[in-house]
Amino acid sequence: MSVEDFDVVVAGGGPGGSTVATLVAMQGHRVLLLEKEVFPRYQIGESLLPATVHGVCRMLGISDELANAGFPIKRGGTFRWGARPEPWTFHFGISAKMAGSTSHAYQVERARFDEMLLNNAKRKGVVVREGCAVTDVVEDGERVTGARYTDPDGTEREVSARFVIDASGNKSRLYTKVGGSRNYSEFFRSLALFGYFEGGKRLPEPVSGNILSVAFDSGWFWYIPLSDTLTSVGAVVRREDAEKIQGDREKALNTLIAECPLISEYLADATRVTTGRYGELRVRKDYSYQQETYWRPGMILVGDAACFVDPVFSSGVHLATYSALLAARSINSVLAGDLDEKTALNEFELRYRREYGVFYEFLVSFYQMNVNEESYFWQAKKVTQNQSTDVESFVELIGGVSSGETALTAADRIAARSAEFAAAVDEMAGGDGDNMVPMFKSTVVQQAMQEAGQVQMKALLGEDAEPELPLFPGGLVTSPERMKWLPHHPA
């Protein structure tokens, strides 16, 4: 059997897999992505966070495509949750880290969103093979040196690589090859029953695109608008009430909806979708876990392959794409010969565990129903240890930007300000090329203008323009283009 060779092989073409593959290929490395299904394929996880939309998606180069896709705009969340009987709403825009044009996310049909990311990976040079299931890794002592997969004809194939990324989600067993055990949460042991409705009610403008989360006696409901008329509706039920979703699923969902007055009201004139991709009522369970170790020499876990908390704050795609960004930086640094594997991947694992940890810890307190939202905001500040106010800490945590990584927050503003500045320079110079005022054609003047531009950018962006500090003592910082790690040299 002939063995192909790549720098990186990625198993799985969900958001985690497409993101890591693209960010590594963009640095000129040879990447193969193997996806079991043929896209578009169904997936749950439709409510995104600003960190994914304005951080990772911008780095991937798909911001405009995403903005033009017509997905409902999610400006925040509306909760009927805790001691207060009335619903309360938060807006991402109240945090300076997500203000202005970065103060929203989208509610996406995952079949479309995931296909968009996968097609972008192809455009950026990733070799994508659909209908190819990875069956095992190839090992040489401690190290993973490649992967085995079955192609669409059923032929067994082998490929060698410096790194194998497991981004194959929570159903595949590939993650076992990294070593250690998958530890399931004792706290989050809920089950979810979900389906789709046409014609459900909408929240009033300007928050009609918000996720609506409603607690009730057996658990809570999500209500996510996917278009003007299509809504994703799911009941998350405590393990003690598991029998409520056993047996006939249609009957079970109707009974749960009847238990929850606000969701009943929103669905009063709606009909359940019973055909096509959204026709099935689906159940998911045992979805909160964390792998003991996230990497071994030559192998890295990203996204659901590594961990997942709980759907209440829509953190799944954020954790998948953020871990993919962290993994890509580590791989890019090692392949460029800048860092050794252990140093680079320890940084990946520490940052990834920190992000998972803040969601996990905060969510435990969010399930206390006898307190009001101020208590949740205070808890968010405690968990994130941020300098922001209580409510800002809450919004930053659930916007995915509590780590303070500028790649997840400032990217949009930096790009916008650069464009503004370039336009201003052009205007002053009276245009470019032949029409440019002679003084601006001089290289010296252009360099001076560039320097002035950097100073102006610093002034405009304040702290965002300062070099990042390590997230952990002795840790690494991100490179200026955010695609690699650099050692930190304190001034």
Nearest to 293 by CA among 307, 278, 283: 307
Which CB, 286 or 426, lies closer to ligand FAD? 286
> Taking CB under 6 A as the rule, does residue 12 contact ligand FAD?
yes
Closest of 172, 168, 147, 166 to residue 157, by C-alpha: 147
How much helix, strand and coil, in percent to the nearest 5, is found in the chain? 45, 25, 35
How many C-beta atoms surround the C-beta of residue 228 within 10 A? 10
317 binds ligand FAD (CB under 6 A): yes
Of the candidates 87, 42, 472, the one whose C-alpha atom is nearest the C-alpha of residue 263 is 87
Which of 71, 81, 287, 295 is in the footprint of ligand FAD by CB under 6 A? 287
Nearest distance from C-beta of residue 52 to ligand FAD, angstroms: 8
How many residues in the shown chain lie near ligand FAD by CB under 6 A? 36
Q: Which of 8, 9, 11, 138 is the binder for ligand FAD (CB under 6 A)?
A: 11
Out of 314, 388, 393, 478, the only residue in the binding site for ligand FAD (CB under 6 A) is: 314
x/- string (CB under 6 A) for ligand FAD, residues 332-371?
----------------------------------------
Residue by residue, DSSP assigns 330-385 as HHHHHHTTSS-HHHHHHHHHHHHHHHHHHHHHHHHHHT-TTS-HHHHHHHHHHHHT
Options 16, 72, 76, 195; binder of ligand FAD; rule CB under 6 A: 16
Q: Is residue 37 a contact point for ligand FAD (CB under 6 A)?
A: yes
DSSP letter for 252, please: H
Is 33 an interacting residue with respect to ligand FAD (CB under 6 A)? no
The DSSP code sequence of 182-201 is EEEPSS---EEEEEEEES--
Residue of the chain from 7, 46, 349, 412 that contacts ligand FAD (CB under 6 A): 46
Closer by beta carbon to ligand FAD, 60 or else 476: 60
What phi-psi label fits residue 156: left (phi over 0), alpha (psi between -120 and 50 degrees) or beta?
A: beta
Q: Supply the minimum distance, in Å, between the C-beta of residue 160 and ligand FAD.
A: 17
Candidates 72-80, 292-300, 301-309, 369-377; binding stretch for ligand FAD (CB under 6 A): 301-309
DSSP state of 469: P
Q: How far apart are CA 443 and CA 448, in angstroms?
A: 9
Interacting span for ligand FAD (CB under 6 A) from 167-175, 293-301, 427-435, 475-483: 167-175
Kindly identify the residues of this chain, within the stretch 458-477, that bind ligand FAD according to CB under 6 A: none
Task: State which residue, 323 or 339, has the beta carbon closest to ligand FAD.
Answer: 323
Cα–Cα distance, 191 to 221 (Å, whole number): 12
308 lies in the site for ligand FAD, by CB under 6 A: yes
Query: Does residue 44 bind ligand FAD (CB under 6 A)?
Result: yes
Residue of the chain from 78, 102, 120, 172 that contacts ligand FAD (CB under 6 A): 172
Interaction of residue 146 with ligand FAD, rule CB under 6 A = no
d(CA 491, CA 489): 6
Residues with Cβ < 8 Å from 93, sequence gap 6 or more? 75, 76, 99, 100, 103, 104
Cα distance between residue 333 and residue 343, in whole Å:
10
Residue 87: CB minimum distance to ligand FAD, A: 18
Radius of gyration of the chain from its Cα atoms, rounded to whole angstroms = 23
Instruction: Give the count of beta carbons closer than 10 Å to the beta carbon of residue 446.
Output: 15
**14 belongs to the binding site for ligand FAD (CB under 6 A):** yes
- Partners of 130 in the beta sheet? 35
- 169 binding ligand FAD? (CB under 6 A): yes
Kind plus residue range of the DSSP H or E element containing 286: none
- In the stretch 227-266, what mask flags binding to ligand FAD with x, by CB under 6 A? -------x--------------------------------
| Alpha carbon of residue 221 to chain centroid | 22
Q: Binding residues for ligand FAD, per CB under 6 A?
A: 11-17, 34-37, 43-47, 133-134, 167-169, 172, 174, 192, 234, 284, 287, 303-304, 308, 311, 314, 316-318, 320
